[in-house]
Amino acid sequence: MNDSINLVSPKNEQLEKEQNRLRVARLLAFVIMAFVVAIAILVFVVNLTLPINSIKQNEQTTLTNISVLHKKLTQYYLVEDRANHLTNIIAQRKNIPDIADDLLAVVPQDLDISSMQIDATKVSLIVSGASLLSMNKLIDDVIMLQEQKNIINNIVMQQLSLDVKSDRYSVSIQADIK
């Protein structure tokens, strides 16, 4: 028998190939369809399970609870508002009484304050007494106020005078407020 005789006709081979292609096409179509259906269902279900409604319901419940406390809430906001404004005012206001306190503290006992004027920018102090040593100490201490407490600067001794009738000295000091 001749082995070279091909019993399978070329037509059958072609048909087999066609069948294979068809099987592959069907399988591919099924896989794609199944995949798409699975994904669509999955995404649909996941979308359904997102808890938006329950969150909104909880929000509504909490809002209802808060609305019962509305008066308290308003008071709380007002407390916050007052506290903020008071903090600002306290931070902004000038400490003139403190400056006056510091100046009084450096005036020696044997000197009298004839005049003290303090405003937002300037301090003016006129002190009288019989002792020049005390006046000298006053001037030194006022200079120390500038250096240590840093509340005044540009200190100027405007006048040092003697009233011969009363035998008293008078010194006038001026400074800028920092």
Partner 1 sequence: MNNNLNGPKKINIDFENLMVLYKHYKDFLLPLGVILVSILVIIYVVFPQIQQYFNSQDLVKAEQQKLDALNSNYNLLTSLDDAKIASNLDTLSAALPPEKDFAGIIDAISYVSAKTGVSVGNFEFSLGDLSASNFGGTAYPSTKIDISLKGDPKSIVEFAHELTKTMPIAEVTALNISGDSGALTVLFYYKPYPVQNVSDQAPIVPLSAKQLSLIEELSSWNSVGQTSLPVLPTAPATASAAVSGSPF
For residue 32, the minimal CB distance to partner 1 (Å) is 5
Rounded CA gap, 134 and 118, in Å?
A: 22
150 binds partner 1 (CB under 8 A): no
In order, the DSSP letters of 132-158 are HHHHHHHHHHHHHIIIII--EEEEEEE
For the bound state, the minimum distance from the C-beta of residue 43 to partner 1, rounded and expressed in Å, comes to 4
CA distance 146 to 151: 6
Of 121-140, binders to partner 1 (CB under 8 A) are none
- Rounded CA separation 95/90 (Å): 10
Neighbouring CB atoms inside 10 A of 44's CB total 10
Mask for 67-106, x = binds partner 1 (CB under 8 A): x-xx-xxxxxxxxxxxxxxxxxxx--xx-xxx-xx--x--
What is the number of H-type helices and E-type strands within the chain?
Answer: 5, 4
Give least dist CB 150 to partner 1, A: 20
Residues that bind partner 1 (CB under 8 A): 21-22, 25-26, 28-30, 32-33, 35-36, 39-40, 43-44, 46-47, 50-52, 55-56, 58-59, 62-63, 65-67, 69-70, 72-90, 93-94, 96-98, 100-101, 104, 113-120
